Amino acid sequence: MITLNLNPELENKIHEEAKSKGLTIEQYLQEIIEQTLKNQPQKSSQILEYEEWERKLTNFINRPSNIHAQPLSNEAISRKSIYTRENEML
């Protein structure tokens, strides 16, 4: 058995929802919890093996949208440009 201490507003909302569906509060909460747990992905599927993670990262890096990106100019990545912009922020 689980006991919850809910604020009165939330408790009233739960009671009203359960009543409108013709359920007891216990049945209503159980239904919500079961639906929530059903819709969550399994934990084991969230953990990627290193090789799978590396493959996905490589595919992301090499995806077509990056191939068409224009490289930055030498001026944009020059030390002078970087430090000048950094000093202007201060």
Q: What is the pLDDT of residues 31-74, one digit of tens each?
A: 999 998 888 766 555 567 888 888 888 988 877 765 667 788 88
Rounded CA separation 27/4 (Å) = 15
Asked whether residue 90 is domain-assigned, the answer is no
Asked whether residue 19 is domain-assigned, the answer is yes
Backbone phi and psi for residue 32, each to the nearest 5 degrees, phi listed first: -65, -45
Asked whether residue 36 is domain-assigned, the answer is yes
- Cβ atoms of 7 and 17 within 8 Å: the answer is no
pLDDT at site 39: 80
Asked whether residue 68 is domain-assigned, the answer is no
pLDDT at site 71: 80
When divided into structural domains, the chain yields a total of: 1
Q: What is the mean pLDDT of the chain?
A: 81
Mean pLDDT of 14-24: 93
Asked whether residue 79 is domain-assigned, the answer is no
What 3-state class would DSSP assign to 72? Answer: coil
Q: Which residue range forms the structural domain that includes residue 26?
A: 8-59
Asked whether residue 85 is domain-assigned, the answer is no
- For 4, 14, 23, 25, 44, the CA distances from 17, given in Å and listed in that order, are 17, 5, 9, 9, 34
Rounded CA separation 34/23 (Å) = 15
pLDDT at site 15: 93
pLDDT at site 37: 84
